[in-house]
Structure 1
Amino acid sequence: MLSTRLDGKRVLLTQSREFMGPALLETFQALGAQVIADERPLDQDPLLPQEIVQAAGQVDVLLLHLALPAPSTPAGEIDDVEWRTVFAHLVDPMPRLVAAVLPQMMARRQGRILLIGSAAALRGQKRTGSYSAARGAQLAYVQAVGLELASFGIQFNAIAQNFVDNPTYYGAEVQANPRFQERLKRDVPLGRLVSAQEDANYAGYLCSDAAACFVGQIFPISGGWASR
């Protein structure tokens, strides 16, 4: 039986201090992986992704973890600066990281690439035009490139999450707000936030040997919000 453990796997995690980074780091280490955690944002230097991959050495799993607090801008007020900033953080680093890691994965004819994306790309929300567009571009990239990589033994998939407990979007002050608690009850069938560990555990499964049959797929994790 194929294992859901990650013993001996070398995992490269980007932006490891933000969003889901701490939970992914802790969970993947508990599953036996050796995690190379890089904390730096990837919006400024286009050469940094290549440098990060080269410094990591062998990468069995690439966790495309790119974080930016979502702007809340009315559609008519989204300017070029906001649009370019959001795409520079969330979209532009993806092909650079993938291109950097592919030669070694193709040479071994195996590897996992997992995007930690957003369900904002699956269901519309007001005042999230730039963010939802960037998150949608991420998922489209995964679906297209995942098809290319499957024949090389590389699985490229994505988690599309929302209402998952993390410090970037759902800090203690937000969770304590009665209006937010009412929103959870109204909009999330689960009735609560998905825990960070639940989300990270599923990410671990998708990167394990047991999950070798998924090709360019998007897995919503949102307590049912994205399914409504």
Structure 2
Amino acid sequence: MAKVDGASEEQSALIFLGTGCSGGVPKAQCLIRPSNPPCPVCSQSLSVKPEHNPNYRCNTSLLIDYCQTNGDHNYILIDVGKTFREQVLRWFTYYKIRRVDCVLLTHEHADAVHGLDDMCSMQQSGLVNDASQIPVYATQECMDSALSRFPYLRKSEHKQGRVDWKIIEENFEKPFVASGLQVYPLPVMHGEDYVALGFLFGNKCRVAYVSDVSQFPSTTEDGE
């Protein structure tokens, strides 16, 4: 279920941090070089507060507030894109979220991974849990691409690194457990020849989260 005001502290919840395109909404171009008449969607962002504006959207991202049977909460983040810092300022403060326990990455594009540096800065300042590294689940291809842009997140002989990379197996057949939550990877087509991931999770209520998709392969459609 989505996070709502007054939700029980003993319930799990889904917090949609962003539902926008890679560039976000409003588009900067629409605001600095407005058309005549101006774009009704982007121009609205100047007059309505972001938290009450359905057209003020950050990069696609989901925060799973997973309440375990013992009442403890784990916070599982799906994707950490270019607008992650703004998502923290808007929604983490609003819902009083103090940490991220692990991250799931759908693919290596900028709108899914370019907030890794901001996330690690949060970790250093104590916003993440007590562990020195944060687990990040990704395919080998996604991890390699992210490390080519953020090489200092790599573990080396003399440096522990700030991210504990967890590789999602290529066959995508096996579920994995992220911060206590069992997750099934869902391969989907993102464009004509590029495979991204969605995720299936939940026990009492099954939730399939797919953010960037152009086509569902038959193996995903016919799966659990």
TM-score range, shorter chain: 0.3 to 0.5
Looking at secondary structure, tell me which structure has more helix per residue. 1
Q: TM-score, normalised by structure 1?
A: 0.37
Higher Cα radius of gyration: 2
Structure holding more strand per residue: 2
With the length of structure 2 as denominator, give the TM-score of the two structures. Answer: 0.38
